[in-house]
Amino acid sequence: MSRPCELLRPGLCRTRNAGHSGRSGSIDPHRVPGPRGPPAGPAGPSHRPGGPVSPRPLVLVTGASAGFGALFARRIAATGADLVLTARREDRLATLAAELTDEFAVTAHVLAADLADPGAPAAIVAELANRGLTVHALVNNAGFGTFGRFESEDPARIAAEIAVNVTAPTLLTRLLLPDLLAAPAGFVVNVTSTAAYQPGPNIAVYSATKAYLRSFTEALWQETRASRLRVLAIAPGPSRTEFFQAAGSEGFAVGQMVTAEQVVDLAMRELRRGAKRPSVIVGGRNAAQAAAARFAPTSVTLAVADKMLSARAAE
């Protein structure tokens, strides 16, 4: 596989001995972080306390334990970049980190965290500082949805859904933005959904959170156009990942099914081209469906979506 290092930082396809960071652990969002490690330059290399300065850019991927996140990590490692992998399941992250180290000779840092905790984004950034790591690019992939009538939703689960889908990507982007803007070729990828393009009865909270993330991403794309930072919202259609299990219903799947490879590879192509579009929908039929929703009366699109999602739930 080619190693297109220009995706992140030109001229950094040099070989060195690299490996698993040798440091992992869960984050307690309420823990006061220890002393800050040696600082890294604003757009300079990532650094491991007690280890050599890395000439590679460093990319943080949320929800990296499975699905899109794990594949994003793999594709990014193939470009020669180091990674910070975060998700709840530390064992899966450690396994993935070891695989990336063995296959691509990159350093993969493991940082377990639960983004449903509103304090998690600040805790992640504090831990990065404590380890002396500067992030040059960010993939906000973590997210989940719930399926069913809003009146039957668990309020605690609604709060968690908003925290993971809205609060976490917003705060991580803001807290890391100075370093992302200073990076020679930084980027932010936010994984949205085709549900971002119209309200979704039976997925009311999920579609609203993804609409927010799409709107936020497009606004940030415009605000940073004069910089080197590339900003992209990638909108998958339904995909056969663990997402549906978390949602609690295969009935969630409305639209053209896409693979994780289609989603991640399209995002990588858009980044290499400079993210000239703020948002991209995966799958021609999904794009057509989103376009149709913009022009049809809202009452019509809502009725159709309600009928389709309710029918799928009954299957």
80 to 6, 57, 73, 261: CA distances (angstroms): 10, 8, 11, 19
Q: Is residue 255 in some structural domain?
A: yes
Could you report the per-residue pLDDT of 125-148, keeping only the tens digit for each? 999 999 999 999 999 999 999 989
Residue 138: closest CA among 90, 93, 97, 172: 172
Quote the CA–CA distance of 185 and 43 in Å, as a whole number: 9
Residue 4, in any domain of the structure: no
**pLDDT-based confidence at residue 38 (cuts at 50, 70, 90):** very low
C-alpha–C-alpha distance, residues 68 and 242, integer Å: 10
Per-residue pLDDT, 257: 78
| Contact indicator for 235, 197 with CB cutoff of 8 Å | yes
pLDDT at 31 exceeding the cut of 70: no
In a domain? residue 118: yes
Predicted pLDDT at 1: 42
pLDDT score of 302: 73
Known catalytic residues are: 206
Asked if the model's pLDDT at residue 307 lies above 80, the reply is no
Pick from 213, 197, 221, 210: which is nearest to 271 by CA?
221
| pTM for this entry | 0.80
One-character DSSP codes across 33-73: P----PPPPTTS--B-TTSPBP-S-EEEEESTTSHHHHHHH
Q: Tell how far CA 285 is from the center of its chain.
A: 23
What's the CATH code of the domain at 54? 3.40.50.720
Domain membership of residue 181 as a residue range: 13-26+39-314
Is 184 part of any domain?
A: yes
**pLDDT score of 180 more than 80:** yes
- 75-123 per-position pLDDT tens digit: 999 999 999 999 999 999 999 999 999 999 999 999 999 999 999 999 9
If one compares 221 and 239, the residue with the highest pLDDT of the two is 221
**The pair of three-digit structure tokens given for residue 182, joined into one six-digit string:** 């200073």
State yes or no: pLDDT of 48 exceeds 50.
no
What does the alpha-carbon distance between residue 242 and residue 282 come to, in Å, rounded to a whole number?
Answer: 18
Domain membership flag for residue 3: no
Greater pLDDT, 289 or 105: 105
pLDDT beyond 80 at 266: yes
For residue 120, how many other CB atoms are within 10 A of its CB?
25
Residues 300 and 292: beta-carbon distance below 8 Å: no
* Mean residue pLDDT across the chain: 81
Residue 49 CB: number of other CB atoms within 10 A?
A: 12
Q: From CA 256, how far away is CA 288, in angstroms rounded? A: 10
165 lies in some domain: yes
Q: What is the b/e burial string over 285-300, where b = at least 16 CB atoms within 10 angstroms of the residue's CB? A: ebbebbeebeeeeeee
Name the domain count of the chain. Answer: 1
Distance separating the N- and C-terminal Cα atoms of the chain: 42
Residue 31 falls inside a structural domain: no
d(CA 27, CA 126): 10
Q: Quick check: 88 and 65 in contact, CB under 8 A?
A: yes
- Whole-number pLDDT of residue 33: 35
In a domain, 79, yes or no: yes
Q: Taking Cα atoms as reference points, which of 73, 29, 33, 279 lies closest to residue 172?
A: 29
For residue range 233-252, list pLDDT tens digits in order. 999 977 655 444 444 444 44
| Strand pairing class (230-235; 187-191) | parallel
Fill in the amino acid letter for 280: V
